[in-house]
């Protein structure tokens, strides 16, 4: 699917589900890593993660576009367009959109805890994705020194 086809799909979804025109551009952005898509407040454009299309197909892209169109239309109308706003949640339910995309959930599941640490005093161990400076941090339970396993 090209960016032009994505824009046409977005215009079609907007007309069908929202009964409103989508006057901006929709494009794929492969730099998106942790999200399926985003609505750009400054430009009005919508960007979609191409991995969503590759991994899950057209229906996943449609769900992402519905979510981003909720942000789009509410923002242009001057209403609550953020996730926590009631107007956003109500519109998302009405168009049968989803709050989270599958690609984001899979990304979170794939993240592995690469570093394991233990307290030298109380022997409590824990895992972290990022490396800790063991000279700077101490055990939360007993204030003992940490060691990398």
Residues 26 and 70 placed together within one structural domain of the fold? yes
Which residue of the set 68, 77, 87, 90 is catalytic?
68
pLDDT of residue 92: 95
The C-alpha atoms of residue 71 and residue 118 are separated, in whole angstroms, by 44
**Are 68 and 140 found together in one domain?**
no
Please give the residue range of the domain that contains residue 144: 115-148
Enter the pTM of the model: 0.71
Q: Which residues pair with 5 in a beta bridge?
A: none
Q: Are residues 51 and 71 in the same domain?
A: yes
Known active-site residue 68? yes
Output the pLDDT for position 28. Answer: 96
63 near 98, Cβ under 8 Å?
yes
114-145 tens-digit pLDDT = 899 999 999 999 988 889 999 999 999 999 99
Same domain, 83 and 50: yes
Whether 13 and 38 share a structural domain: yes
Are 105 and 125 in the same domain? no
**Model pLDDT for residues 44-99, shown as the tens digit of each residue:** 999 999 988 888 889 999 999 999 999 999 999 999 999 999 999 999 999 999 89
Q: Could you tell me if 120 and 104 lie in one domain?
A: no
Strands of the chain, DSSP E: 26-28, 37-39, 46-48, 115-119, 125-128, 146-148
Do 105 and 120 belong together in one domain?
Answer: no
């Amino acid at each position: 699917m090209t960016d032009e086809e994505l824009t046409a799909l977005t215009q079609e979804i907007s007309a069908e589900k929202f009964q409103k025109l989508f006057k901006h551009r929709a494009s794929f952005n492969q730099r998106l890593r942790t999200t399926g898509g985003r609505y750009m407040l400054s430009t009005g454009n919508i960007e979609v993660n191409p991995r969503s299309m590759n991994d899950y197909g057209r229906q996943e892209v449609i769900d992402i576009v519905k979510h981003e169109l909720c942000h789009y239309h509410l923002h242009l109308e001057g209403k609550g367009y953020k996730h926590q706003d009631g107007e956003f949640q109500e519109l998302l339910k009405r168009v049968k959109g989803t709050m989270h995309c599958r690609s984001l959930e899979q990304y979170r599941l794939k993240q592995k805890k690469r570093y394991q640490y233990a307290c030298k005093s109380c022997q409590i161990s824990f895992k972290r994705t990022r490396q800790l400076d063991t000279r700077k941090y101490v055990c939360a339970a007993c204030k003992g020194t940490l060691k990398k396993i």
